[in-house]
Chains A and B, each alone.
Chain A
Amino acid sequence: MSSGALSPVRLGLIWRRLDGIVDQVSETFVRAAFSVVVRDNYDMAFSLFDAQGRQLTQSKRSIPSFMGTLPRTLQAVLERFPTEQLKPGDTIISNDPWIGTGHLNDISMVHPIFRDDRLIAFAASTAHTVDIGGAPSPTARDRFEEGLCIPICKIVEAGRESPAVIDFLSENLRQPDETLGDIRAQFAAYRDCTEKLHAMMAEEGLADLTPLADEIIARSEASMRAAIALLPDGAYQDGFDIDGVDQPLRVACAVRIAGDRLAVDFAGTSPQVRWPINSVLNYTQAYARYAVKCLLDPGAPNNAGSLAPISIAAPEGCLLNATPPAPVWGRHLSGHYVPPAIFGALAPILPDRVVAESGSPLWNVYFAGRLDAGGEPFVKMFFMNGGHGARPHGDGPGCLSFPSNVSNQPIEAFEHQVPMLVAEKCFVPDSGGGGRYRGGNAQRLRFRSLSAHPITMTIRHERVQFPPRGLLGGLPGTTGLDLVNGEVIPAKGRSELSRGDEVTFQTAGGGGLFAVADRAREVIEADIESGLVTEDKARATYGHDR
């Protein structure tokens, strides 16, 4: 086939094929992975960039934050290792929060792809690692307490693993086999990606990816600009309080639309705090761009072009642009408020697009202890999504991840790894906010320790004070709740569990959308029939009598 100009038909096909390659390669990683957090929770991303470092595509199951933070990570890698210092078979690693995903627990790697000794692309991936050493805790005062920071370095050089880097990791991690196993599973994925990319280029007669990348980026940028241009120019604001740690904090957001450009500014947001809930700018930007893309151009692909017309700013030193060495372990506790802030700001001009607030920031829990047999240490986490906000054309689904896209893990898999019993995982009736469209139900999880050794439990949960808001007349969902043996515990803290102790987590319910008076009678009846809404609640919210 000739390498002439790309016809729209051929471009479409090659583009789709590129998407197909990253999806397959990402599955290679997941299937070879050693951690539940990758293979069940899918807390990962796999993305492809051109030789200039422009993002081209990412796997379908890449989570929104990571797909958005990887471009900056690659840029930082190239600042440290300019392309002339990269060789075939190199892989560069780092978990620096400020160039990465905002906390140390996500390890990112970049793998330059060569063809005939010429750099043609970069594969890059990020995966969560449950343990990164150190003592991350809800009271950490700086990022040094939060674990091992891996500076930008080559973990593989010309195809050979660096013993120094591997040894550093092994010595500092509680579960080195799991983390290194995941890292090596990514090596397998890079190799797979290289082979598939080579095969595709050979079959399509492409000498390099630049003409393809130019088209992908130009067309995506045009699509996003056209979507922005449809909106009325102006400045739109939103602001709300969030739980914080020792006092409520404020998230403030202004969205300015001028022609085909959109700018988001978080000026007015509280200053960074001494608690590990600060977000770095890269993470804030990732979620801001994601939110705009969802609202304005959801059907188009996501890449450097679609993000170009959007600029994101946050004052240096604020909660959403913290400066080092701020503690950042729980950076999603502020960062996950970015999409609802943008939705809230744009709700008046996009009432048919916005969703009400979801029961997020994402909840999770860490359990650390020792296995009864052998006494090996373990650190495992468990994710719990809240109710999704009501959507413009229907109720919010119960327990659906937003703005992240982290899956749950099978309880049966969890119980194999942790000496605990999950006694309950169910919907919480009456937890979704009322409205013409109801917010999604929250979930309740109960864990019981079966361990002879004490288990240290760490949580950092939001939304126990301020519930997810309804939008455009909808009512808020319910707040979350954390209990140990029936007693309320602080939402951010650490406790020790003895055998038989029981913990209950109840996530937050999604907010409702539009006025309750507009909810259809038969839908309320169906809610009662299913038990997701009680008769009392239906009467109180909708004045509904059977």
Chain B
Amino acid sequence: MTADRGPRDEVASWRVGVDIGGTFTDVVLWDAQSGRMILEKLLTTPDDPSRAVLDGVERVLREVGIAADQLSSVIHGTTLVANALIERKGVSTGLITTAGFRDVLEIGREWRYDQFNLDIEMPRPLVPRSLRLEVTERIDAGGSVLTPLDNQDVVGAVGALREAGVASVAVCLLHAYLNPDHERAVAEALRRDLPDIAVSLSSDVSPELGEYERTSTTVANAYVHPIFRDYVARLIEALQGMGYRRDFLLVLSDGRCVRADVAQRYPIRLVQSGPAAGAEAARLFGELAGFDDLLCFDMGGTTAKACLIPDGEPERAVRFEVARETRFAEGSGLPLQIPAIDMIEIGAGGGSIARVDRRGLLQVGPDSAGADPGPVCYGQGNQLPTVTDCDLLLGYLDEASFLGGRMRLDRAAAERAVGEHLAGPLGIGVVEAAWGVHETVTANMAQAATIHAIERALDVTRFAMLAIGGAGPVHACAMARKMNIGRLVCPTGAGVASAIGMLASSISFEIARAAPSSIDALDFARATALLEGMDAEASALVAGAGVEADLVSRRFSAMMRYRGQGYEIEAPVALDAVRQGDRAALLESFSQAYRGRYGRSEEMPVELLSWRLAVVGPRSSLAETLAERGGEGAEVPAPGGHRPVWFDDRFIETPVYDRGQLMPGARINGPAIIEEVESTLVVPTEFALSVDRALNLILTPVA
């Protein structure tokens, strides 16, 4: 940021990040100029998630005494989409497809994801066979109409869907990624006859070759579309009602932002929105703490995720899978064609329900009590014990200080639930059962995260663990010990890290245009026009997001491959080289990228599939302001109190510190409990903690 600010800049230096998890909604307000940060954590309101968001935004604005029209941006991430898919709580959805192909969605790719297991469950389609309707039409592989769209069929399909009472419709016709005309005609008929129904077209949602994956992506989009669209509309309306004037931005699964209108049409791209922002936060805090290789461990109320960030750059994937039939089994879920930060689900969060299974053994998750009703101790009607209930009984959480005392936990109810459902059937004591649940969920997560790293040929013991999410710091030390990880970072605001990550990330957009051509026959004049058009579009997006155009960096690239291959490689491209028709530069860039990935290049014709443009706004100054936050005072403050906490098979009277009092240089040996409003850090007996200059807590095992 520039030093010479006008008064208007000063006003517009406030940014808000909002993250909705399954259990909590986190709101962070940050002043880029002063570095001041206000954190809020509220219970998610599942019946209308916008309620908690607006409530939180109002609270933070009130706290610093500014109005909504003084905000430069509001950025939002959410697990709403993922949860609706995992819990199958989307809307009743229909599918209209090319005659002869309604079973594509169920047939899938015909392979068994576990070769030796004869009893695997295949993913169940989101649309039942009776709601998968066909229309006569056909586009050929060149994009030409082979059979015109039969309007009678369309009328019939629309009528059938009306009768079935669906709330959303996916349209996926063969080769629509090349020619969307028929899909658009179907959409028009749907909008005309069923104006209240949400429509998702495969040519919009996922314009890529491959009918199964495209249908799966489009159907998943449709399944969550109305819920998400209405939710965002309510939010925008309310924010505008408060006086907010800028674009409302949402975080995509790859950590980038888009404007609300784009997000509303393609909610499926937000399937990993909140966690992706968490990875951005991990990158930020890791940098502050001086660690390059990070394992981000993000445990909220509903899910726990792990993301590897080697060398400060999160791993990325172009394929994504949601709602797996078998936990951790690749191929057992619904495939989505969306770019995403590569992370895996390693558990079901603090709300995970614990039970005794048919083998007479403790089983934790995969189902979660979420926010509503939430754990038994929330007193909202759930009777089944959860991980959070057990953490309370073990003293890791405190009934009086949870959420800074704003939410009182019902310890007696948790004790009853654990006794009745776990300790009784197992014939053991309540505390023993609670400890069993804590150990089981921690071991499950440690194993899953280790496998994730190993499968990427990475040695996780060299990584530092960054613990975020409301429940992350509660379980982090125990998990790190099981994974043989020697360093942990617990950042300030760990409990609301995803929301902070949204503020940390640069505002950035990506635009892609398909333009298949062999390099030999590439029309550079057309390509130049295309790239300039993309550039103009990007400029408009950037302006709407409140970023000055001259502070934005642009990166053009081309997706290329050798003719005959099926996967492309991204090669950087200079706009000037395209303007000058420099074929050799394009080929050299591709060869270099290819050699980087495959260690060799081939003497074969090259083709280009699409152009991409990434525009990245200026780096947020969040890192600098956070780095300077630490005051002085290596003194360890007196604990605010003591409470009995379960360590090493017994309750130990353990000091409880207020995190706000811990200043750089301070050192504390375990056992200890460090409380901040949004999360609680559990420091077992064999760990020592120190505070770094950015107020991160750095934990290491004591030899």
- Whether B129 contacts A531 by the Cβ 8 Å rule is yes
24 A-B residue pairs with Cβ-Cβ distance under 8 Å, sorted by A, are A16-B451, A17-B454, A24-B455, A39-B566, A177-B604, A181-B564, A191-B599, A192-B599, A196-B457, A293-B116, A355-B118, A391-B118, A398-B107, A399-B107, A400-B112, A401-B111, A401-B112, A412-B174, A412-B175, A415-B140, A421-B146, A427-B107, A443-B107, A530-B130
Does B209 lie at the interface of the complex (its beta carbon under 8 Å from any beta carbon of A)? yes
Give bound CA distance, A383 to B111, whole Å: 12
Does B138 lie at the interface of the complex (its beta carbon under 8 Å from any beta carbon of A)? yes
The minimal Cβ–Cβ distance linking B182 to chain A, given in whole angstroms, is 14
- Set of chain A residues within 8 Å of B174, measured between Cβ atoms: 411-412
Does A456 lie at the interface of the complex (its beta carbon under 8 Å from any beta carbon of B)? no
- Set of chain A residues within 8 Å of B450, measured between Cβ atoms: 13, 16
- Whether A16 contacts B602 by the Cβ 8 Å rule is no
Restricting to A10-58, which residues have a CB under 8 Å from any CB of B?
13, 16-17, 19-21, 23-24, 28, 31-36, 39-40, 42
- Whether B600 contacts A191 by the Cβ 8 Å rule is yes
- Set of chain B residues within 8 Å of A73, measured between Cβ atoms: none
- Leading 3 A-B pairs by shortest Cβ distance: A424-B100, A20-B455, A415-B141
Q: A17-B454, A298-B116 are in contact. Are A407 and B111 (CB under 8 A)?
A: yes
- Set of chain A residues within 8 Å of B100, measured between Cβ atoms: 423-426, 446
Does B117 lie at the interface of the complex (its beta carbon under 8 Å from any beta carbon of A)? yes
Does B532 lie at the interface of the complex (its beta carbon under 8 Å from any beta carbon of A)? no
- Whether B117 contacts A421 by the Cβ 8 Å rule is no
Partner of B565, one of A21, A34, A401: A34
Give bound CA distance, A17 to B461, whole Å: 13
- Whether A410 contacts B209 by the Cβ 8 Å rule is yes
Give bound CA distance, A302 to B604, whole Å: 38
Restricting to B119-142, which residues have a CB under 8 Å from any CB of A?
119, 121-122, 128-130, 138, 140-141
Give bound CA distance, A188 to B111, whole Å: 25
Q: A402-B112, A427-B107 are in contact. Are A33 and B101 (CB under 8 A)?
A: no
- Whether A400 contacts B600 by the Cβ 8 Å rule is no
- Set of chain B residues within 8 Å of A78, measured between Cβ atoms: none
Contact mask A55-98 → B, CB, 8 Å, 1/0?
00000111010000000000000000000000000000000000
- Set of chain A residues within 8 Å of B451, measured between Cβ atoms: 16, 20
- Set of chain A residues within 8 Å of B128, measured between Cβ atoms: 530
The minimal Cβ–Cβ distance linking B577 to chain A, given in whole angstroms, is 26
The minimal Cβ–Cβ distance linking B336 to chain A, given in whole angstroms, is 16
The minimal Cβ–Cβ distance linking A36 to chain B, given in whole angstroms, is 7
Shortest Cβ distance from B460 into A: residue? A13
- Whether B564 contacts A178 by the Cβ 8 Å rule is yes
- Set of chain A residues within 8 Å of B600, measured between Cβ atoms: 184, 187-188, 191
Partner of B141, one of A20, A408, A416, A443: A416
- Whether B457 contacts A21 by the Cβ 8 Å rule is yes
Seen from chain A, the residues whose Cβ lies within 8 Å of a Cβ on chain B are: 13, 16-17, 19-21, 23-24, 28, 31-36, 39-40, 42, 60-62, 64, 177-178, 181, 184-185, 187-188, 191-192, 196, 199-200, 203, 290, 293-295, 297-299, 302, 353, 355, 383, 385, 391-394, 397-402, 405-408, 410-413, 415-416, 421, 423-427, 443, 446, 450, 529-532
A sample of 15 more A-B contacts (CB under 8 A), given A181-B562, A424-B100, A532-B129, is A19-B454, A24-B456, A35-B564, A178-B564, A294-B115, A297-B116, A393-B119, A394-B121, A397-B122, A408-B107, A412-B175, A413-B209, A416-B141, A426-B101, A446-B100
- Whether A24 contacts B110 by the Cβ 8 Å rule is no
- Whether B175 contacts A188 by the Cβ 8 Å rule is no
Q: A17-B454, A411-B211, A412-B141 are in contact. Are A60 and B115 (CB under 8 A)?
A: yes
Give bound CA distance, A64 to B116, whole Å: 9
Restricting to B127-182, which residues have a CB under 8 Å from any CB of A?
128-130, 138, 140-141, 146, 174-175, 177
- Set of chain B residues within 8 Å of A397, measured between Cβ atoms: 122
The minimal Cβ–Cβ distance linking A91 to chain B, given in whole angstroms, is 13
Partner of A412, one of B110, B211, B599, B604: B211
- Whether B109 contacts A407 by the Cβ 8 Å rule is yes
Q: A294-B118, A398-B107, A424-B100 are in contact. Are A23 and B564 (CB under 8 A)?
A: no
The minimal Cβ–Cβ distance linking A260 to chain B, given in whole angstroms, is 19
- Set of chain B residues within 8 Å of A353, measured between Cβ atoms: 118
- Whether B456 contacts A39 by the Cβ 8 Å rule is no
Does B537 lie at the interface of the complex (its beta carbon under 8 Å from any beta carbon of A)? no
Give bound CA distance, A408 to B213, whole Å: 12
- Whether A530 contacts B107 by the Cβ 8 Å rule is no
Shortest Cβ distance from A20 into B: residue? B455
Partner of A188, one of B122, B459, B599: B599
Does B425 lie at the interface of the complex (its beta carbon under 8 Å from any beta carbon of A)? no
- Set of chain A residues within 8 Å of B602, measured between Cβ atoms: 181, 184
Shortest Cβ distance from A177 into B: residue? B564
The minimal Cβ–Cβ distance linking B364 to chain A, given in whole angstroms, is 21
- Set of chain A residues within 8 Å of B109, measured between Cβ atoms: 407-408
Which of B107, B118, B212 has the most chain A CB within a 10 Å cutoff?
B118
- Whether A302 contacts B107 by the Cβ 8 Å rule is no
Instruction: Name the interface size band of chain B.
Output: 35 or more
The minimal Cβ–Cβ distance linking B94 to chain A, given in whole angstroms, is 15
Which of B121, B138, B598 has the most chain A CB within a 10 Å cutoff?
B598
- Set of chain A residues within 8 Å of B209, measured between Cβ atoms: 410, 412-413, 416
- Set of chain A residues within 8 Å of B102, measured between Cβ atoms: 426
- Set of chain A residues within 8 Å of B175, measured between Cβ atoms: 412, 415
Partner of B110, one of A28, A298, A399, A411: A399
- Whether B111 contacts A16 by the Cβ 8 Å rule is no
Give bound CA distance, A421 to B140, whole Å: 8
- Whether B110 contacts A406 by the Cβ 8 Å rule is yes
Restricting to B97-113, which residues have a CB under 8 Å from any CB of A?
99-104, 106-107, 109-112
Contact mask B452-476 → A, CB, 8 Å, 1/0?
0011110100000000000000000
Give bound CA distance, A17 to B104, whole Å: 35
- Whether A28 contacts B119 by the Cβ 8 Å rule is no
Does B641 lie at the interface of the complex (its beta carbon under 8 Å from any beta carbon of A)? no
Give bound CA distance, A353 to B119, whole Å: 9
- Whether B111 contacts A405 by the Cβ 8 Å rule is yes
Give bound CA distance, A21 to B174, whole Å: 36
The minimal Cβ–Cβ distance linking B702 to chain A, given in whole angstroms, is 21
Give bound CA distance, A168 to B130, whole Å: 55
Give bound CA distance, A16 to B450, whole Å: 9
Shortest Cβ distance from B567 into A: residue? A31
- Whether A32 contacts B565 by the Cβ 8 Å rule is yes
Shortest Cβ distance from A35 into B: residue? B564
Give bound CA distance, A69 to B104, whole Å: 32
- Whether A39 contacts B211 by the Cβ 8 Å rule is no
Give bound CA distance, A348 to B454, whole Å: 41
- Whether A20 contacts B565 by the Cβ 8 Å rule is no
Give bound CA distance, A529 to B212, whole Å: 23
Give bound CA distance, A299 to B604, whole Å: 43
Partner of A294, one of B103, B116, B130, B565: B116
- Set of chain B residues within 8 Å of A446, measured between Cβ atoms: 100
Does B210 lie at the interface of the complex (its beta carbon under 8 Å from any beta carbon of A)? yes
- Set of chain B residues within 8 Å of A199, measured between Cβ atoms: 457
The minimal Cβ–Cβ distance linking A123 to chain B, given in whole angstroms, is 14
- Whether B599 contacts A181 by the Cβ 8 Å rule is no
Q: A400-B110, A413-B210 are in contact. Are A16 and B562 (CB under 8 A)?
A: no
- Set of chain A residues within 8 Å of B141, measured between Cβ atoms: 412, 415-416
Give bound CA distance, A118 to B224, whole Å: 57
Q: A16-B451, A400-B110 are in contact. Are A302 and B116 (CB under 8 A)?
A: yes
Q: A20-B454, A23-B455 are in contact. Are A412 and B112 (CB under 8 A)?
A: no
- Whether B138 contacts A421 by the Cβ 8 Å rule is yes
Q: A406-B110, A407-B109 are in contact. Are A298 and B129 (CB under 8 A)?
A: no
The minimal Cβ–Cβ distance linking A58 to chain B, given in whole angstroms, is 9
Shortest Cβ distance from A391 into B: residue? B119
- Set of chain A residues within 8 Å of B122, measured between Cβ atoms: 397, 400
Give bound CA distance, A427 to B146, whole Å: 24
Give bound CA distance, A245 to B566, whole Å: 37
The minimal Cβ–Cβ distance linking B382 to chain A, given in whole angstroms, is 29
Restricting to B590-634, which residues have a CB under 8 Å from any CB of A?
598-600, 602, 604
